[in-house]
Amino acid sequence: MAQARHNVDWDEMFRIAVDGEKARAYFESTPPADRHTCSMCGKMCAVRTTNMILEGKKVEFCTEK
Ligand code: SF4
């Protein structure tokens, strides 16, 4: 689960969760605009930002849509 969380891999998290169907239902009731985040922080997601930096991508919050 930690690896799936690190990758923001929702399908894998739902697959290995104790109650994946309920988790998926909660997720889909308020889906994030960017699937590489959750609905809380959106493009300010610290996990997403860290992964982008580790992949060598440039992070510019003010210019991203
Ligand atoms: S940092 Fe925010 S958007 Fe990213 S996974 Fe955590 S709560 Fe969700």
Q: How remote is the CA of residue 49 from the centroid of ligand 1, in Å?
A: 10
pLDDT at 43: 81
Q: What is the pLDDT of residue 21?
A: 98
Measured from the Cα of 8, ligand 1's closest atom is 5
Instruction: Show Cβ contacts of residue 43 under 8 Å, excluding neighbours closer than 6 positions.
Output: 33, 34, 37, 61, 64
Q: Dump pLDDT digits (tens) for 7-57.
A: 899 999 999 999 999 999 999 999 888 888 888 888 888 998 999 999 999
Query: Is 49 in contact with 59 (CB distance < 8 Å)?
Result: yes
Q: Is the confidence at residue 4, as pLDDT, over 90?
A: yes
Taking Cα atoms as reference points, which of 15, 59, 18 lies closest to residue 37? 59
* pLDDT number for residue 64: 57
Rounded distance from Cα 37 to ligand 1 centre (Å): 6
User: Rounded to two decimals, what is the model's pTM?
Assistant: 0.76
Q: What is the pLDDT of residue 42?
A: 82
Which residues approach ligand 1 with their CB closer than 6 A? 37-38, 40-41, 45-48
Dist. CA 10 → ligand 1 center (Å): 12
